Amino acid sequence: MSTTESHNEAEIVVDPNAVSMTINGKTVQARKGEWIIAAADRTEDFIPRFCYHPRMESVGMCRQCLVEVEGPRGPMMVVSCMTPVAEGQVVRTDTDIVKRAQEGMIELLLANHPLDCPVCDKGGECPLQDQAFSHGPGESRYVEEKRHYEKPIPISGLVFLDRERCILCDRCTRFADEVAGDPLITFTHRGNNTQVMTFPDEPFASYFSGNTVQICPVGALTAEPYRFKARPWDLQQQESTCTTCSVGCRTVVQSSRDEILRYQGVDSDPVNWGWLCDRGRFNFQSTNSPNRLSTPLIKTESGLVSASWTVALDETARVLRHAQPGSIAILGGARGTNEDAWAWAQLADALGVDMRDAQLDDGLPAEIFGYPNATIDDACSAATVILLAPDLKEELPVLYLRLRGAAEKKKIRIIEITTHDSGLTRYAWKSLQHEPGHQAETVQQMLSTPEMQEQLGRGSVVVVAGRSNLAEAAHHTMAVVDTIATTVSQVSVLPVLRRANVRGALSLGLAPRGTSDAAAILEASANGKVDCLILLGADPLSDVPDADLARRGIAGARHIIAIDTFLNNSSAHADIVLPAAAYGEKDGTTTNLEGRVTNVAQSITPHATSRPDWMIAVELAALLDHDLDILTLQDIQTRITQTVGGFDGLSVSVAVRKNGVLVSVPPISPLQVHHDAAVKRNAYEFRLVVARKLYDEAIGTAMSQSLAALAPGAGVFVHPHDLERVGAKDGSSVRVSNTTRSVILPVHASMTVARGTAFVPFNQKGVDIRELLEATNGVTDVQIANIS
Amino acid sequence: MTSSYLHAPGFIAGDRPKIVTSRFEYADSYKIDRFIATGGYQGLRSALSRPAQTVHDDVKSATVLGRGGAGFPAGVKWGLTPQEVWPRYLVVNGDESEPGTYKDRLLMERDPHQLIEGCLIACYAAGLSQCFLYIRGEMAVAQERVAEALNEAYEAGYVGKNILGTNFSVDIVLHWGAGAYVVGEETALIESLEGNRGMPRLKPPFFPAANGLYGQPTIVNNVETLANLPWLMTNGVDAYTAIGTKTSPGTRMVAVSGHVVRPGVYEIVNGTTTFRDLIYGQEFCGGIRNNNALKAFVPGGGSAPWFTSDQLDLPFEGSQVGAAGSMLGSGAIMVMDETTDIPAAALTLTRFYAHESCGKCTPCREGGTWLERILSRVVDGKGTDADLAQLIEVGESICPGDFPHASNEALGLTAVPFPYKMTTICFVGPSAYVPVHSALTLFRSEFEARITKRTMIKVTAVGVSS
Amino acid sequence: MSRLTDAHVALAKEIIGRYPRPKSALVPLLHLAQEQDGYITRDAMVHIGELVGVTSAEVYGTATFYEMFKFEPVGKYVVNICGTMSCALMGSEELMHHAEQRLGIKAGGTTPDGMFTLEHAECQAACTEAPCLQVNYRYRYRLTPADLDELIDDLSAERLTHEIPPHGTVAKVRQHIASHRGVGVVAPELVTESPAWLNGKAAL
């Protein structure tokens, strides 16, 4: 950096939106369109507030943030949350009349508040409590009978509502309507009887309900998993990144006595704006689960038995040492940190392992990263967003929030190309439905429509690309992404592969070498060509769409080493199981779907004897005489920044900051896209769509008691007309068959499913739909028969 | 018992200029045939025969003041819409419910076509492409009369597509509420019309003229305001401004209720008629019942600070009444004679506003009910001295600083002019405090008497009927 | 516990069609439901939500704001006695006491036979005709206790059915815009030009 700075007057660019004003006599720089309270938040003069929230529209409702602004007829009292800044504006927050008004407001808010702070979860972190001390009159003269309501009432499986504590600030109700798009809680009744409620006997079933608890300025809304668990002053906290999916929401992990008790969203401007989905917020319960693996396990004649780390690592090293060259395979790595992935990639390199894939045949080929990269902000400010993705509300909920918000504010136009209605369908400018496997025709049609052409010519186009249908081969999506990328100008791609660090793992060495992707590895294993299959936080038996392939692959492997937090379907078949440290139990960094590297922080000691993945890799390398020259996490981070292209600008101290740092990764492998013709229907009348719901049998959900019950369970959804055609009643059982196999599922009518297709949620409790999926076919056609 | 269904009673005609009540003498005044036979839709023809801008200019130069409460000139209001933003809407405020007010319902029940004609003139002049006529939910007959009139007017070609064969086309949609006083506030009216809870929006940024119904420029006009337009168009600006004063031209509908000999609704000459004329004049109310003494009166609807006989000679003119510490509001005078139990009377109004709070602003939601509870206790004879101080304290949380009140010679009070400062978005919260403040300022001894007695006083009725 | 009947759905669609945004029809549709059932049922709110495209919770939030909507069955005749200042000055409290005695219920209650619900009402815009009341939103003015007795007699004997419909029906006349006369609704975002008549010329 230059130490001699000279400013030429002519060089100073005057920002036309800059506004200079004073607050309590001090000059403040602000921008046109900003509210006074936002400008004041950059000064030392705190304006008390309850209803104002910087990520929601102001309503000017609680009246706590009154200030005085000089006007033509003397000082005027205005709410600072809804009065815009202006050039030369003179604001006072400290006059007697302002103080009187603010004190009066606190007294009025406390009038009907039960003051049950000693038994309230919010006590100690309560804006009402804090501001009653800082801006209140110090006493209440309210001697009347207070409002009484039944307290507290569950308004969903996760959230409790205590209407007596509520100060009617409209934050939760505004969030539900404005941010989440789930207006299932509203104000009801009027005046002094106003309350927040759901429709009678209908739950606040929103994937984002936990946010209302976080933004509630009193203890009116509490979350079931945290109720009466801790006091704020007993909590330790670490800023971190949620690794439930690949959006990478910033969080604070709060723990007490070495137990994680709560996650809170942190406002990261380019990512989550402070919001979290409920799955990300509440799945910390799985970390505390008693079902976690405590010690290494080794297979004996009597099954898997506990072993010491020394024995287990020695045994692992022995297996690896005796494997034939080229017969070791690694599946997984997308659930760990960047450092975990890199260390395992180093070990793989040392052992000459080519068979590696961080994905499980349920995403898109790593080539997707080869297109010009879009960030979340790029997508939310693009002229056009083309969705070729799974239902983002179900798989990447906070990305859904961001895109929904941008579409609602008319900042972007969404063109959705989908097999069934998604959460974003109602916000899309155009939603083009196609039969699975026929997206190429739909895209061709779109590209040739004058109206669409005009829209696509309006500015930047971001393609949000992911695996929308697990019953359909990935190349269908890749082909149309490629068509759009090569036909339309100003295109960039936001890949939405869902596992938290899939991008980091693929970038740091766990991408397939050549054609040896997960499917090929499992096929090789089925054919007896794998001596040792390493499952790095991977559960192929649960996640690989082709269940038969997964079964054959697991059965065919001579040895299986599993590194995981739980014993799952696949690791139960392992010869050696090594317990891994979970999220919150280790430090490191993670890379989100847009390539943003942020830190994950250790808040508690790893469960029992479990260890971070990277440490296991380093120790194994040492036992195999391949010194990786790594002692600490920092060593890995230094090596990554020195050796991995794109990560060279990265320093961990930067990543720890809440917005992290974007890394650019050169194309992982050359693009080779197959443009196959659409697959013709066989005689069967339904084409299958299989996709994930937010809550399923995934281990983090299933092992979190608050979330487990929210999974909808297995079933098949068809259009009401199709249901009639099948002759089945809603909820009755039907037989769903492909040419060779069949399963029995409850059937439901749904208007969101196109006629002639059948939607089945993936990985739900009950019958496994994967029995009908075949890797060799590009699509899956089934018939449905009424059996009741 | 007479069937009072067919005619809204209360209107008392007189030998005075009639701008909006000229047809009230006819039993079938609400039918289109009568309307047309008595010059109806001539104002519309006159307007359509001139460019829209000229019509707008006329309304401006005639200074047609808003009759809903704030008294803002309609022509100026129409001009506040941003340039070249379309469409623009007209919302007619027929949600009359200010305590003491009774005039818009008369105009809707007795002469709905006049209102429709006024709407059409406004839409033509200000380029408003759809009109929503919002009638208070509880006014069944007004809704029926306006519905019937609209059906007739559509059929006859006065409303709808290509009105009178011109390129002027506008729909008038009858909308009706479901019981909420606050919806009379224009931004709450818009919220209600959008299907929401009728909670006011903050102005700015939600000035309806710029950001109103569906976010579009929206003119909200009161029924009586619009009912003035047909006469203005037919008779011209000069004829209109010849009535009343320069700042308050034309006439006003005023309802005088309470302890007077002849309570009723009068169309009076604006700006010159005094309160003494209205209460004591033989062509108006003819004095206080039983020749009792006047104790106090509310000059402009329940939201207005009270006057006493000291203010009787003030004319019905906005700026003078404002300087004297009150407001003209919606043309409603409520008269209290010497028998009135003042704390109990104040309670009826405070209870009204507490009940009608929408619940949005903290001071109104919590403060209004608090005021009502304290006042209720005082009226019941269970109050304490601290309660009287607390009434003022709570009031100051709603309206900090000096609060307007009238002068009073006997008490040595000088007037504090209208308006007040307020911590709320709309006037409902302050209005709960208005009667408390007026009554305590002018009749404090009556409150103290309740407290010093320290006995239960059974209050069965407000003001002993005699 | 009913959804809207087919006839009411047809009416509802006509009403919805008059507004640029369907949600605007919410209050009129709630009136329609109350007209059908005498009060607002849970199923009706769900149905109305479907018709205007909002959640049941939003319907409920709007409905409970407005006093005229009842969520429990009420009497065939809802008697609202005004108690605001002008009526209070003219003896409305006495009238209320009388009504309570005559009907044997307190304000807010319903007679066991389901004929009458008595309510304390706020200003009804008939202040010069105090004290006043409404029966199912039809006025009676300057009532004495004797007038009230006579009214209750007439209502009990169903002598006023021609004038006063059962609770739920407010206006008996509805607006109808014939398609050949109506301009029709255009979504505001689709309007970009000023109205045709703002061309600087007289329309006639």
- In percent, the amount of chain A with pLDDT more than 90 equals 88
Rounded to whole angstroms, how far apart are CA atoms A758 and A688? 5
Average pLDDT, integer, range A470-479: 92
Domain ranges in chain C?
1-72+174-204, 77-156
Interface of C with B in 34-63 (CB under 8 A): 52, 54, 61-62
Using the beta-carbon criterion (under 8 Å), do B196 and C151 form an inter-chain contact?
no
List CB contacts of A474: < 8 A, sequence separation 6 or more: A363, A364, A365, A467
H/E stretch holding A82 reads: none
- What pLDDT was estimated at residue B421? 92
Closest CA to A437 of A465, A464, A475: A475
Fold of the CATH domain B32-241: Rossmann fold (3.40.50)
- What pLDDT was estimated at residue A646? 81
Average pLDDT, integer, range A265-279: 97
Please, are residues A61 and A169 in contact by the beta-carbon 8 Å criterion?
Answer: yes
Token pair recorded at residue A29: 């720089």
In chain A, the residue whose alpha carbon lies closest to the alpha carbon of B366 is: A108
Using the beta-carbon criterion (under 8 Å), do C55 and A200 form an inter-chain contact?
no
User: Does position B3 have pLDDT exceeding 50, yes or no?
Assistant: no
Domain ranges in chain B?
32-241, 243-338, 340-466
pLDDT category at A671 given cuts 50, 70, 90 is low
Backbone φ, ψ for residue A545 (5° rounding): -55, -40
- List CB contacts (< 8 A) between B50 and chain C: 202
- What pLDDT was estimated at residue A680? 76
User: Does position A106 have pLDDT exceeding 60, yes or no?
Assistant: yes
- List CB contacts (< 8 A) between A155 and chain C: none
pLDDT category at A169 given cuts 50, 70, 90 is very high
> Which is more confidently placed, A655 or A523?
A523
Identify residue B377 by its one-letter amino acid code: R
Please, are residues A589 and A661 in contact by the beta-carbon 8 Å criterion?
Answer: no
User: Does position A8 have pLDDT exceeding 60, yes or no?
Assistant: no
Token pair recorded at residue B352: 């009204």
Which CATH code fits A686-786? 2.40.40.20
User: Does position B460 have pLDDT exceeding 90, yes or no?
Assistant: no
- List CB contacts (< 8 A) between A170 and chain C: none
User: Does position A657 have pLDDT exceeding 90, yes or no?
Assistant: no
- Mean pLDDT, all residues of chain A: 93
Interface membership of B85 toward C (CB under 8 Å): no
User: Does position B7 have pLDDT exceeding 80, yes or no?
Assistant: no
- What pLDDT was estimated at residue C128? 97
Q: How far apart are the first and last CA of chain B?
A: 22
Q: Three-class SS of residue A417?
A: strand
Q: Count CB pairs under 8 A between chains A and C.
A: 37
User: Does position A539 have pLDDT exceeding 80, yes or no?
Assistant: yes
- What pLDDT was estimated at residue A659? 84
Using the beta-carbon criterion (under 8 Å), do A184 and C45 form an inter-chain contact?
no
Question: Which of A472-486, B144-158, B259-273, C64-78 bottoms out in mean pLDDT, i.e. has the lowest?
Answer: A472-486
Interface of B with C in 301-330 (CB under 8 A): 302
- What pLDDT was estimated at residue A653? 67
Test the C interface: residue of B96, B109, B138, B185 with most C CBs within 10 Å = B138
- List CB contacts (< 8 A) between B260 and chain C: none
Interface membership of B360 toward C (CB under 8 Å): no
- Mean pLDDT, all residues of chain B: 94
- What pLDDT was estimated at residue A666? 60
Domain C1-72+174-204: state its class. mainly alpha
**Domain spanning A13-94, CATH architecture:** Roll (3.10)
Query: Over C132-200, what HEC string results?
Result: CEEECCEEECCCCHHHHHHHHHHHHCCCCCCCCCCCCCCCCCCCCCCCCCCCCCCCHHHCCCCCCCCCC
Using the beta-carbon criterion (under 8 Å), do C55 and A190 form an inter-chain contact?
no
Please, are residues A346 and A617 in contact by the beta-carbon 8 Å criterion?
Answer: yes
Fold of the CATH domain C77-156: Glutaredoxin (3.40.30)
User: Does position A7 have pLDDT exceeding 70, yes or no?
Assistant: no
Please, are residues A373 and A400 in contact by the beta-carbon 8 Å criterion?
Answer: no
Interface membership of A71 toward B (CB under 8 Å): no
Rounded to whole angstroms, how far apart are CA atoms A359 and A334? 7
User: Does position B456 have pLDDT exceeding 70, yes or no?
Assistant: no
In chain A, the residue whose alpha carbon lies closest to the alpha carbon of C62 is: A188
A444-468 tens-digit pLDDT = 999 999 999 999 999 999 999 999 9
Q: Is A403 exposed, middle or buried (0-12, 13-18, 19+ CB in 10 A)?
A: buried
Give bridge partners of residue A223 from the DSSP assignment: A159
Q: Is A254 exposed, middle or buried (0-12, 13-18, 19+ CB in 10 A)?
A: buried
Domain A297-363+501-662: state its class. alpha beta
Ordered per-residue pLDDT tens for chain C, 204 residues: 589 999 999 999 999 999 999 999 999 999 999 999 999 999 999 999 999 999 999 999 999 999 999 999 999 999 999 999 999 999 999 999 999 999 999 999 999 999 999 999 999 999 999 999 999 999 999 999 999 999 999 999 999 999 999 999 999 999 999 999 999 999 999 999 999 999 999 999
- In the block, residue with structure tokens 């104790």: B295
Domain B340-466: state its class. mainly alpha
User: Does position B105 have pLDDT exceeding 90, yes or no?
Assistant: yes
Contacts 24+ apart (CB under 8 A), B369-375: B369/A191, B369/A192, B370/A108, B370/A111, B370/A142, B370/A144, B370/B394, B371/B395, B371/B432, B371/B433, B371/B436, B372/B347, B372/B432, B373/A144, B374/A144, B375/B343, B375/B346, B375/B347, B375/B350, B375/B436
User: Does position A770 have pLDDT exceeding 80, yes or no?
Assistant: yes
B136-190 tens-digit pLDDT = 999 999 999 999 999 999 999 999 999 999 999 999 999 999 999 999 999 999 9
Interface membership of B177 toward C (CB under 8 Å): yes
**Which ipTM value was assigned to this complex?**
0.98
Test the B interface: residue of C59, C67, C86 with most B CBs within 10 Å = C86
Please, are residues A210 and A203 in contact by the beta-carbon 8 Å criterion?
Answer: no
Using the beta-carbon criterion (under 8 Å), do B176 and C31 form an inter-chain contact?
yes
pLDDT category at B459 given cuts 50, 70, 90 is very low
Using the beta-carbon criterion (under 8 Å), do A104 and B396 form an inter-chain contact?
yes
Average pLDDT, integer, range A433-439: 92
pLDDT category at B297 given cuts 50, 70, 90 is very high
Token pair recorded at residue B357: 């709070």
User: Does position B111 have pLDDT exceeding 60, yes or no?
Assistant: yes
User: Does position A696 have pLDDT exceeding 60, yes or no?
Assistant: yes
- What pLDDT was estimated at residue B285? 97
- What pLDDT was estimated at residue A11? 57
pLDDT category at B453 given cuts 50, 70, 90 is low
Rounded to whole angstroms, how far apart are CA atoms B75 and A773? 71
- In percent, the amount of chain B with pLDDT more than 90 equals 93
Q: Three-class SS of residue A75?
A: strand
HSE (side-chain half, CA atoms, 13 Å) at B384: 3
User: Does position B118 have pLDDT exceeding 90, yes or no?
Assistant: yes
CA distance B233 to chain A (A): 37
- What pLDDT was estimated at residue A667? 58
Domain ranges in chain A?
13-94, 297-363+501-662, 366-495, 686-786
Which CATH code fits B243-338? 3.10.20.600
User: Does position B245 have pLDDT exceeding 70, yes or no?
Assistant: yes
B276-293 tens-digit pLDDT = 999 999 999 999 999 999
pLDDT category at B2 given cuts 50, 70, 90 is very low
Interface membership of A77 toward B (CB under 8 Å): yes
Which CATH code fits A366-495? 3.40.228.10
A360-415 tens-digit pLDDT = 999 999 889 889 999 999 999 999 999 999 999 999 999 999 999 999 999 999 99
